[in-house]
A and B are shown apart, each in its own frame.
Chain A
Amino acid sequence: MERAEDVKKHIKVYLWVFAGLVIGTIVTVAVSNLQAGVALGIFIAMVIATFKGSLVAGFFMHLRTEKKLIYFVLGITALLLLVLMFITFFTIGDQVGVQIVPESAGHSVH
């Protein structure tokens, strides 16, 4: 359990994290105005979102110093999330007689 003195130190960190989040938000919006192209745009936006997300999770949700059990649960969840997203994606992309082209999803369903 955290004691009062430790918590005081935390508060300073929280304010730094807050600054980081605000800057992250501004950068995302600014970058999106550059019209960097769809693929690069998605990549940059997701990198910044992941950075901001890990700030929130790491500091506000105290994941930086959490117990093993929580890491374990979240690890499984992350793994299954990847399975859900990517294997589904690959499977829908991989159709008999159809190339992975944008037209496929609307018309390949029989």
Chain B
Amino acid sequence: MEIPYTVDAHPETGLHNSKIGIWLFLASEVMLFGGLFSAYILLRTGSLPGVWPLGSDILSVPIGTFNTLVLIISSVTMVMSWASLKMNDFSKYKLYMGTTILLGSLFLVIKIFYEYIPKFSHHHFPSTDTFYAIYFTLTGLHGLHVLGGILVNLYFWGPGSKLWKTEPERFSNRIEVAGLYWHFVDLVWIFLFPTLYLL
């Protein structure tokens, strides 16, 4: 027996399996980052007056803003790659998906070489104080999510795209699911950026 509704939508829920799966996964991710955000709130409100620094005094707002734009553009190209598949344009898909991967990598490169490494060379480590601790932990975990997204996207850009020839419907479903994850990572950054850099 085949597993039903891997491609087609279930008549009652109107969804195929992997769409439910990814949203459940994202729900758990919400709770994961939610736990970290509440840790941030508690540590900040619990800190001695005047101890908690202003993010913009320590972190580079221009770099952060630029990186925010990079991620937003990558979200647009991600959704465009899915739309291209829906319009049966595989070469455009390749182009947009490739751009998404490059933008994601650019984000990480900037993060590591223009933010982390300069901080380390000035002897600012997670152990320095609670602000750095939460900054490195939150952005680090977010960075790992970006990396995971890049790897998944790379797979669908390269070997995984063979599925397009045999099961186009299923392939574009997969891209939609990968896209949902990628947008979520973008969404987390949209909250992380003001929290850490501006407040």
Evaluate contact between A49 and B31: CB separation under 8 angstroms: no
Evaluate contact between A89 and B83: CB separation under 8 angstroms: no
Evaluate contact between B75 and A56: CB separation under 8 angstroms: yes
> Which residues 18-59 of A sit at the B interface, judged by CB distance below 8 A?
18, 21-22, 25-26, 28-29, 32, 38, 41-42, 45-46, 48-49, 52-53, 56-57
In the bound assembly, the distance between CA atoms of A29 and B56 in angstroms comes to: 10
Partner pick for B27 among A21, A26, A73, CB 8 A cutoff: A73
Evaluate contact between B15 and A74: CB separation under 8 angstroms: no
CB distance from A71 to the nearest CB of B (A): 10
Interface residues on A, range: 35 or more
Name A's interface SS: helix
In the bound assembly, the distance between CA atoms of A18 and B30 in angstroms comes to: 23
> Which residues 47-81 of A sit at the B interface, judged by CB distance below 8 A?
48-49, 52-53, 56-57, 60-61, 67, 69-70, 73-74, 76-78, 80-81
Evaluate contact between B76 and A18: CB separation under 8 angstroms: yes
Residues of A within 8 A of B78 (CB): 60
Evaluate contact between A77 and B42: CB separation under 8 angstroms: no
* Known pairs A4-B88, A74-B27; A102 contacts B190 (CB<8 A): no
Binding site for B on A (CB under 8 A): 1-4, 7-8, 10-11, 14-15, 17-18, 21-22, 25-26, 28-29, 32, 38, 41-42, 45-46, 48-49, 52-53, 56-57, 60-61, 67, 69-70, 73-74, 76-78, 80-81, 84-85, 88-89, 92, 102-106
Name B's interface SS: helix
Partner pick for B187 among A38, A53, A74, CB 8 A cutoff: A53
Evaluate contact between B198 and A11: CB separation under 8 angstroms: no
Per-residue 0/1 for B1-13: is the Cβ within 8 Å of any A Cβ (1 yes, 0 no)? 0000000010001
Evaluate contact between A49 and B87: CB separation under 8 angstroms: no
* Known pairs A57-B183, A67-B14; A52 contacts B190 (CB<8 A): yes
- Does B69 lie at the interface of the complex (its beta carbon under 8 Å from any beta carbon of A)? yes
Residues of A within 8 A of B61 (CB): 29, 32
The 5 closest A-B pairs by CB, nearest first: A105-B46, A45-B194, A32-B198, A77-B27, A7-B86
Evaluate contact between A49 and B183: CB separation under 8 angstroms: no
Evaluate contact between A89 and B42: CB separation under 8 angstroms: yes
Partner pick for B49 among A45, A57, A102, CB 8 A cutoff: A102
In the bound assembly, the distance between CA atoms of A18 and B70 in angstroms comes to: 12
Q: A102 — nearest CB in chain B belongs to which residue?
A: B49
Residues of B within 8 A of A48 (CB): 194
CB distance from A51 to the nearest CB of B (A): 9
Evaluate contact between A60 and B27: CB separation under 8 angstroms: no
